[in-house]
Chain A
Amino acid sequence: MSRAEKLRRWLEKELGGNLISAETPFPGRLFIDLKREALTAAASGLMNQGARYQMGIGYDARKDGRGFGLVHTFAFDRDSLLVALRTFAPGDNPEFDSLTPFIPGAGWSEREYQDLLGLKFRNLSDRKRLVLSDDWPEGIYPLRREVPHDLMPPAAEEVAFRLEEAPPGTSIIPFGPFHASLHEPAHFSVYVDGEDIKGCEYRGFMTHRGIEKLAQTELTYNDVPFVAERICGICGSVHAVNYAQAVEAAAGISIPRRAEFIRMVALELERLHSHLLWLGVAGHLIGFDTVFMQAWRIREKIMWLAERLTGNRKTYGLVIIGGVRRDINRESSRDIRSTLEEVDREMQALEKAILKDRTIHRRTRGVGYLSKEETVKWNLVGPVARARGLKIDARRDHPYAAYDEVEFEVPVADSGDVWGTLVVRVKEVYEAIKIINQCLDRLEKLSKNEPLAVELEGPIPAGRQGLSLVEAPRGEAVHFVLTGNENRPERWRVRAPTYPNLQAVPSMLLNNKLADFPIIVGQIDPCISCTDRVLVVENRSGKARLLSRQELENISRAKRSGR
């Protein structure tokens, strides 16, 4: 009996009448609807059976008369199963039980919907603002249906985020939003005793602009991949592919083999240059700029390669629902192979230099340590989790595209520190090269006449749920799509790997040295833009809006001419 079947039985027994439905519309997923009262029991039951919490999704379903929906998703990595628990609360009393008492990592998701939808959570200990900017007025919940996407409310006056006081015996060192070790805006209020870190408070989401809102009000299904790609400057394809997969799953579309392999090539190329980028940044963060420059020099070859393949260094614009837009022909294939050979060779030289450097050992071993238990507790993902002995990798555990047809290792380390993260990432570079080469082999064997994308047959039916995973360079990215009318998703939720990883950073920082702050935060390769889901920043005024192309051009021209 499969895990999904077992779970269904268990839920039926345990919840009785509180379970409304449990279905598996496509393999590897279990969508459960249950009554509000049973949420905690079901969630804790799943956790007790070894589930890994992923994210919460809140949405406004009042127009269907169902109030506010709240979905929590869980992964059973050994059984290739994702479980989504959906409950509803009436619009006039949108209160749910908080999962934080037994899943601390659910805190951000719940706070996010407290901000964006005005949901309320019983037993949520930290009720501070998470997503909305400091001067966003109280009582306006931007993700609710009635709030237009381009609302510009007057900024609340004389408000400031109330940062906690420093605990007795400590002082605060403010890191960010503009700090040399943070490449994107976020604020850490770090408590130090001397140079020992005794805790920290995080204030992020400074660049939240509501892409999700945009997708469900303005864009169409096929516009979204291009916006999704712009969620992140590094792993854009991850989000585009992930979104496309979620929609395809929900709509029951299966895409051509050729497209699957091409998507994989794009994803792995991104992993390559992302890891090289991280390696360089990590070197820079411990004061080793030569590593920075050399790693980025190697990375540059991949950027050029990407430009030759797609026309862009990043943001390839490759993915559409149902397939891809560009082919990889034999010539490109040769190009990729030769570039990868070079990268492989140079990477080996760099690896030797890095792994043998004793000072790097000193700066990374034992730094940013997090035990395996804590790692599980905070639901960490990606290289950060794998460096802490957790062998999870969405490519292996929940195969998508054609990952089940290629061979690769999932490198794991158990040192639990920055060093482990570094080793895992370095090894993954070689695995990525291996995967790309296998994809190219397969592509070369496939018929050239196979289409790159399938034509969609009619509109995508509304009300279906799609849940998709992609192993981004930083870890598992999750997309949830609830299909809607008007050729656009009813709800699209993006959870980037940094979202859970960042929540564990305070634990990693604890009792480390101030000097290690950059590398500890850096080890998760924080992608603030993925986490914040940004487009335009007007943090001070709290206004979220899109710039038109014309406006953008005007601004950049004004800058260039010194106005």
Chain B
Amino acid sequence: MKVAAVVINLLYFLLLAPFLEGVMRKITARIQSRQGPPLYQPYLDLLKLLGKENLNAAGHPVFRLAPLLALASVLSAIALLPLAGQSSFLAHSSDLMTLIYFLTLGGFSILVGALASGNPFASVGASREMMTIIMLEPVLAMTLILGVVRAGSLGLVSVTEGVSTNRGLSYFLMMAVYLVALQAFVSRQPFDIPEAEVEILEGPYVEYSGPNYALFRYTLNLKRMFYSWLFVAGFLGFMLPGNIILCLVIQTVLILALFVLISVIGATHPRFRMDQALKFYGILLLLALLAVGLGVRGW
């Protein structure tokens, strides 16, 4: 069963993630008075990209390895997630820190691939991506640490449950911080600065095309879904031990709702500039720190 949980989780994310992008695009289109592509369009995009030629701007293996590692690390993080309140069989050799570092590894691979391409636009994007990771990964970490502080364990089940056990001041503060940071986690306006198409042409990905780019796109989709999942599982606490199907259904509905929110915010804001965003992130960091402090004090 526990082995199956890993597979179910992986399949659940792999299958649903592109659909969520479809939802995002549809809603954005509607806000912009457009029809928008069909909901299944992202699947077609991925398939199309897989069939294209792979262009390698660097000519060396690091460039080739980066997309593989990016997808693998995000999938690794997903493989660790509990399913329906039950820990996966990897729980005995992994914990919160593993999860956080796997996510960082995902970002790291994008950077390495970008720098490998040698394109100045990719380098600017990489520089921005890294700054975003530096400033925002701690917000994710602190959300989970709030759970650690409550649960006294780094196990993922206890941590996700821990976040919402005490709905006090710290819980609501952290929830607000996370919701704002979510926009950056999923790289939507106002925080899609590392990709900023009109300035640096999708930044880190500028040299990637075809299947390599498909992997990056997939990674991005999975990451978006992951961060939304974390909000649903952590703050809303719908883990429903035992009933996998029901749990998955409720999860899906809530994640969809969250994506609607993300799309609406994304469609109604312009993009920040990096220096402005950094100040913003700084404030988020302090608030998250405050929330953890309150959490330790039991509020």
Contact = CB atoms under 8 A, between A and B. Distances in A.
User: Do A and B interact?
Assistant: yes
Interface of A: 171-174, 179-181, 195, 283-294, 297, 357, 359-360, 362-363, 513-518
Given A195-B124, A294-B33, A288 B198 contact: no
B276 interface: yes
B53 interface: no
Given A173-B121, A287-B198, A289-B32, A515 B193 contact: yes
A288 B34 CA distance: 15
Nearest to A364: B270
A287 B268 contact: no
Contact of B197 (A180, A292, A514): A180
A518 B275 CA distance: 16
Given A294-B33, A359-B190, 14 more contacts: A171-B120, A180-B198, A288-B189, A288-B269, A289-B28, A290-B32, A290-B267, A290-B268, A363-B271, A363-B273, A513-B274, A514-B200, A515-B199, A517-B199
A69 B192 CA distance: 54
B240 interface: no
A451 to B, nearest CB: 43
Given A173-B120, A174-B120, A287-B190, A294 B32 contact: yes
B273 A516 contact: yes
B111 to A, nearest CB: 16
A528 B274 CA distance: 29
Contact of B124 (A173, A287, A294): A173
A190 B33 CA distance: 36
Contacts of B141: none
A438 B190 CA distance: 42
Given A287-B198, A290-B267, A515 B274 contact: yes
Contacts, number: 78
Contacts of A294: 32-33
Interface residues of B, number: 29
A287 B192 contact: yes
Nearest 5 A/B pairs, CB to CB: A287-B271, A288-B270, A293-B32, A286-B270, A181-B198
B270 A360 contact: yes
A515 B196 contact: yes
Contacts of A514: 124, 199-200
B270 A363 contact: yes
Interface in B194-214: 196-201
Dominant secondary structure of chain A at its interface with chain B: helix
Contacts of B268: 290
A361 to B, nearest CB: 10
Contacts of B270: 283, 286-288, 291, 357, 359-360, 363
A284 B198 contact: yes
Interface string B31-55: 1111000000000000000000000
Contacts of B276: 362
Interface in B255-297: 267-276
Contacts of B31: 290
A275 B31 CA distance: 22
A515 B273 contact: yes
Nearest to A179: B201
Contacts of B275: 195, 513
Nearest to A513: B273
A363 B277 CA distance: 11
A503 B124 CA distance: 27
Contacts of B189: 287-288
User: In the complex, which of the residues A283, A289, A360, A513 has the most CB atoms of chain B within 10 Å of its own CB atom?
Assistant: A289
Nearest to B29: A293
A289 B199 contact: no
A422 B201 CA distance: 24
11 contacts: A171-B120, A172-B120, A195-B275, A287-B189, A287-B270, A290-B31, A293-B32, A359-B270, A360-B270, A363-B271, A517-B199
